[in-house]
Amino acid sequence: MKTYQAGTLNYTARGLAFLFFWLLWGDFAFTFFESIFGRFLPFYLKDLNASNTLISVMTGSIAGAVNILFLPNFSRWSDQYRSRLGRRIPFLYVVAPVTALSLVGVGFAPEIAAWIHLHFLSRVAPSVAVGTIIIGLLCFLVVSYHFFNMMLVNLYNWLLRDVVPQETISRFLAWFRVVGALSSMVFLWYVFPHLMERRREVFIGVALFYLAAFLLMCFWVKEGEYPPPPAVDERPGMVEAFLLYFRDCMSVPIYRNFFIAYLLASIATNCAGPFGALFTRDTLHITMHDMGKLFTWGTAAGPIAFVIIGWFCDRFSPLRVTLVGFFGMAIGCVAGYFLVQGKTSYLVFSLVNALPSAAWGIGSFAATMKLFPSERFGQLSSGLNVFGCGALIVGNFLMGRFMDLVHSNYRMTYVWSAVLFTLAAYPMWLVIRDWKRYGGPDHYVAPLPPVV
C-alpha cells in the first residue's frame, strides 16, 4: 500500500484524505470569516465620507505595518517552539478566539461609538460627531484584527507546509483554492447582499461559525515530531533580530527576486481590491444585491481554473505557471479598462480572468513550498509576507492618493494592476533561471541562507 510522508508523519491514502478534509474544512471557515472584513470595510468607510487615501490605509497599510513589526520575531518563535501539540497548533488555539472577537468589535463599531458618545463625549466634547468616533474606533479595532489575523494566517500556512506531503502539495493547494472559492460563493450569494442592513447578525454569526469550525480542525489535525531547534548562544536584541532576519531573507538571489516579483503582484491586486469593489457600485452603479450575484458567478469560475492550474503546476512547475499568470493578468487588465461597461461585460471579464488569476495565485503559493528549505520555511515564508506588507503600506497609500488625484475614477484600477503585473514578470524570470541552476524540476536543492 502506497504511503505518503511529511517529516515524521506517514499517511495512507485514507489518512491523507482525512488530513485533506480537515485542513480544507478549516480553509472553508477561514475564507468565510475573512470575506466579511474585506467586503464590509471599503463600503462602510466610503459611506462615512472617508477619503480614498484613508480607505487604502485602513484596508491595507495597517495590516502591512502590523506584519512588519511583529511577524519576524513571531515566525522565529514558532519555528523554534516545541510542545506536545506541535509548533503551530498551540498558537492557533489561542489566536483563533481572539481574532473572532476582534472581528465582532469591527462589526459593532457604530454601537460602541454611540455608547461612548452618549456616556462620555457628549459631556466633555459634544461637538465631536459620532461618525468621527466611529472612524477613530475603527482604526483601533482594525489594528487589533490585523494583529491577531496576521498570526492566524501565517500559522495556518506554516501548518500546511509541516503536515502536507510535498508530492501532493500542488494538488492540495488547488483543492485549497477550490474550497476557498466555494466558501466565497456561499458568502457572496447568501450573506453579502445583507451585509450592510443585517450587520450585527452577520458579524456574530460568521464569527461563531468560524470559531467552532477552525477549532475542530485544530483538534483533528496532528503535527509530527520536529528536530531540536538550533542552539543560540545569545538572544539578539529586537533591532539586531530584525537586521538578522532581513539579511537572511534577502541574502540568496533566488529568494530575493521571488520576493520582488511577489510583492509587485500583491500590490497590483491587493491595493486595487477595495477600489475594484467601489468601481462596481459607484462607477457601474450596480446594487449590492446584483453585486453579490455577479461576484458569486465570477468566483464560480475559480474551482474549474484551480483544478486546471493545479495540474499545470505539477506538470510544468509552479514557477513557470506563475510567470504565465503575470502576463495573463496584465493583458486582462488592459482589456478590462476598455471593455467593462456594465453588468454583462463585468461578468464576462470575471469569468475569463479567473484562469490567469488562479495561475499566479496558486503558482506563487505552490512555488514557496518548492523553493524554500524546510529548515527555514517559517522564517522565509514570513519574510515574504513582511516584505510584501511593507510594500503594501506604501502601495496602499499611493493607490489612495492616485484615486484622489483622478477624482475617484475607479476604472483606473485596471491601469494600476496592468503596469505592476508587467513589472513583476522580469524578477520572476530571474527566479526561474536560478531555479534551473540549483537543479530544476527533478534535482532542485534549496539554498540555505547563512546560519545566524
CB 33 within 8 A of CB 187: no
- What is the model's pLDDT at position 424? 95
> How far apart are the two ends of the chain, measured CA to CA in Å?
42
Those residues whose C-beta lies under 8 Å from the C-beta of residue 132, and which sit 6 or more positions away, are none
Q: Which amino acid is at 68?
A: I
- What is the model's pLDDT at position 64? 65
CB 157 within 8 A of CB 372: no
CA 395 and chain centroid, separation:
16
CB 61 within 8 A of CB 397: yes
- What is the rounded distance in angstroms from the CA atom of residue 409 to the CA atom of residue 185? 28
Residue-wise DSSP of 302-343: HHHHHHHHHHHHHHH-HHHHHHHHHHHHHHHHHHHHHH--SH
CB 141 within 8 A of CB 105: yes
CB 161 within 8 A of CB 369: yes
Task: Provide the CATH number for the domain formed by 11-223+237-443 in this structure.
Answer: 1.20.1250.20
Kindly tell me the sign of the dihedral angle through the C-alpha atoms of 24, 322, 170, 80: negative
pTM beyond cutoff 0.75: no
Those residues whose C-beta lies under 8 Å from the C-beta of residue 57, and which sit 6 or more positions away, are 396, 397, 400
pLDDT in tens, the chain (452 residues): 788 888 888 899 899 999 999 999 988 988 888 887 777 878 877 887 777 877 777 776 666 667 667 766 777 778 888 888 888 899 999 989 998 998 898 888 888 888 887 877 767 777 777 777 888 888 788 878 878 887 888 888 888 888 988 788 777 877 887 888 888 888 888 888 888 888 889 889 988 988 998 899 999 999 888 888 766 555 555 556 556 666 766 778 898 899 999 989 989 988 888 888 889 988 999 988 888 888 888 888 877 887 788 788 878 889 999 999 999 999 999 999 999 999 999 999 999 998 999 898 888 988 888 888 876 776 777 777 777 777 777 888 888 889 888 988 999 999 999 999 999 999 999 999 999 998 888 788 888 776 54
Q: If DSSP states are collapsed to H, E and C, what string results for 354-405?
A: HHHHHHHHHHHHHHHHHHCCHHHHHHHHHHHHHHHHHHHHHHHHHHHHHHHH
Domain residue extents for the chain: 11-223+237-443
